[in-house]
């Protein structure tokens, strides 16, 4: 590190309290992404809650309820808006302490550059390197766009964050940073993959049957994608590529098993390209200075045109319910927001446009409510108020434990028939009756519900 960079660092060094005291009522603050939220700045800002008003704070899928929220339980001082809900965001939303910002993930940076301005951007980053750069670590995403629209850029340093190579725009130079805070270096939150259910194993087996040698994978969040990764690691499929929104533990297992080579990718060949990462220490250690991985902003990774450049792009994402028209809801229960659009639309759309590509929506055929009643996830129509995450015109494949169906090019009655075929048998007669009532079932020969052929 040369003397000029060292002097700049010392000149810009502040305590979290000093930075928090610069915030004025009416300011707009961006507050970091996912597992790299600025912990010390959160604590300092919470201390000032009673002195401030009309502070608008935005973040992306924060891993825990921030202290500035618990310090303001009636939302009198801070207004928090979330670009995607984690479990913490869902909890805050249900308590009236958080609002959701709807958007297609790949458009996030463009939306920010066109419409948003921030007084402060608080981000967490790795310690500065010898060239004066702070690496964003696990979350490139929209951070690189956010800092172009900020009056003041504040970096909180956390030594626990792995240094994640680009790609591009994975770092910010000290010359662009206004203040530096030496954080308390809390360990990163770990997201441990759950133990898969037998239903998830069955769905995963159907999905793996759709994956070929040389496929380029995107795996969404949740238990099912991890099962898919595990089955692929044990399979004979080879030369897998990775171009994914989120890098997860199962992709580490795929790489170490020799299944991931990236040899068949058209762009970012031999690289596991991604925009964010979330998982366990195994994943974080794997990412640290690993040239096999490349971090990019989300407007590159999630751009459907970029996704489609790689052949055999396979996108696997989960849903809450799918109706007989083929509409997919993945982010709300009725009108209650529980997640976000994220990149599901981006990847389902992009994968279809890839040569040999497949966009797959996966879900269990049923769920059991708190009273113990079993309900179908394949439904006649989405429940009132549900958000359509992927419209029927975009949906390609849908998978449950009863099989996989392809909906493109099919009429409304053919779609309904296919979807009934992968619904739980106990609901098929009822679904057929409701489809007939809605006049989307062609009653040429009344099918017996137990004998509907699965169209794959």
Closest CA to 345 of 357, 330, 356, 333: 330
Report the DSSP beta bridge partners of residue 406: 397
pLDDT at 451: 54
Note the pLDDT of residue 188.
Answer: 94
Give the per-residue pLDDT at 455.
46
The model carries a pTM of 0.94
Supply 407's token pair.
């909906």
∠ Cα 390 218 382 (to 5°): 20
For residues 294 and 445, give the distance between their C-alpha atoms in angstroms, rounded to a whole number: 54
For residue 456, the model assigns a pLDDT of 46
3-state helix, strand, coil in the chain (%, to 5): 30, 25, 45
Q: How many CB atoms lie within 10 A of CB 439?
A: 10
User: Strand 179-182 and strand 216-219: pairing?
Assistant: unpaired
- Burial grade of 176 (CB within 10 A; 0-12, 13-18, 19 or more): middle
| Phi and psi, residue 58, nearest 5° | -125, 145
Determine the pLDDT at residue 444.
55
Tokens of 391: 């419209």
Which residues does residue 449 pair with via DSSP β-bridges, in sequence order? none
Phi/psi at 10 (5° precision): -65, -35
pLDDT at site 448: 52
Distance from C-alpha of 393 to C-alpha of 381, rounded to nearest angstrom: 15
CA distances from 267 to 107, 272, 432, 444 (A): 21, 11, 45, 48
Q: Which pLDDT score is estimated for 449?
A: 52
Residue 99 to residue 101: CA distance in whole angstroms: 7
Asked whether 330 and 339 are in contact (CB, 8 A), the reply is yes
What is d(CA 205, CA 228) in angstroms, rounded to the nearest whole number?
7
Number of residues that this document lists for the chain: 456
Question: Is residue 296 within 8 Å of residue 227, measured between CB atoms?
Answer: no
What residue ranges of the chain have pLDDT lower than 50?
453-456
What the block records as the tokens of 425 is 């048998």
CB-CB contact of 451 with 445 (8 Å) = no
Q: Centre a 10 Å sphere on the Cβ of residue 348 and count the other Cβ atoms it contains.
A: 29
- What does the pLDDT read at residue 58? 97
Q: How far is residue 149's CA from residue 453's CA, in Å, rounded to a whole number? A: 54
3-state SS assignment for residue 245: strand
Q: Which residues are catalytic?
A: 245
pLDDT at 412: 95
Phi/psi at 96 (nearest 5 deg)?
75, 25
Q: Which domains occur in the chain, in start order?
A: 3-182 (3.40.1080.10), 198-451 (3.40.1080.20)
């Amino acid at each position: 590190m040369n003397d000029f960079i060292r002097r700049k660092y010392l000149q810009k060094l502040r305590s979290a309290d000093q930075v928090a005291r610069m915030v004025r009522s009416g300011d707009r603050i961006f507050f970091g992404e996912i597992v790299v939220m600025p912990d010390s700045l959160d604590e300092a800002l919470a201390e000032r809650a009673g002195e401030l008003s009309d502070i608008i704070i935005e973040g992306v899928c924060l891993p825990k309820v921030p202290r500035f929220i618990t310090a303001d339980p009636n939302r009198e001082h801070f207004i928090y808006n979330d670009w995607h809900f984690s479990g913490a965001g869902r909890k805050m939303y249900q308590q009236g302490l958080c609002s959701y910002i709807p958007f297609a993930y790949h458009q996030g940076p463009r939306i920010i550059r066109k419409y948003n301005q921030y007084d402060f951007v608080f981000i967490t980053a790795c310690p500065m390197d010898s060239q004066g750069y702070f690496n964003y670590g696990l979350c490139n995403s929209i951070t690189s766009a956010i800092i172009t629209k900020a009056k003041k850029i504040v970096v909180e340093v956390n030594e626990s964050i792995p240094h994640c190579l680009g790609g591009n725009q994975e770092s910010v130079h000290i010359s662009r940073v206004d203040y530096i805070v030496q954080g308390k270096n809390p360990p990163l939150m770990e997201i441990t993959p759950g133990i898969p259910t037998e239903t998830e194993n069955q769905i995963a087996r159907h999905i793996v049957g759709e994956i070929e040698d040389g496929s380029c994978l995107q795996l969404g969040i949740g238990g099912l994608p991890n099962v898919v990764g595990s089955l692929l690691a044990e399979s004979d499929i080879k030369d897998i590529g990775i171009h994914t929104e989120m890098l997860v533990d199962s992709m580490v297992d795929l790489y170490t098993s020799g299944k991931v080579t990236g040899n068949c990718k058209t762009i970012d060949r031999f690289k596991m390209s991604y925009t964010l990462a979330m998982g366990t220490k195994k994943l974080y250690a794997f990412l640290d200075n690993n040239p096999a991985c490349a971090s990019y902003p989300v407007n590159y990774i999630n751009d459907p045109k970029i996704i489609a450049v790689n052949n055999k792009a396979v996108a696997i994402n989960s849903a809450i319910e799918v109706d007989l028209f083929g509409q997919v809801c993945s982010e709300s229960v009725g009108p209650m927001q529980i997640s976000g659009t994220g990149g599901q639309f981006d990847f389902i759309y992009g994968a279809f446009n890839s040569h040999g590509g497949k966009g797959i929506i996966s879900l269990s055929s049923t769920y059991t409510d708190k009273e113990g009643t079993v309900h179908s996830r394949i439904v006649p129509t989405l429940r009132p108020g549900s958000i359509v995450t992927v419209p029927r015109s975009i949906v390609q494949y849908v998978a449950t434990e009863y099989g996989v169906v392809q909906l493109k090019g099919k009429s409304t009655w053919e779609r309904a028939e296919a979807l009934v075929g992968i619904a739980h048998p106990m609901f098929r007669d009822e679904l057929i009756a409701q489809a007939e009532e809605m006049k989307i079932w062609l009653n040429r020969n009344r099918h017996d519900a137990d004998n509907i052929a699965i169209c794959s």
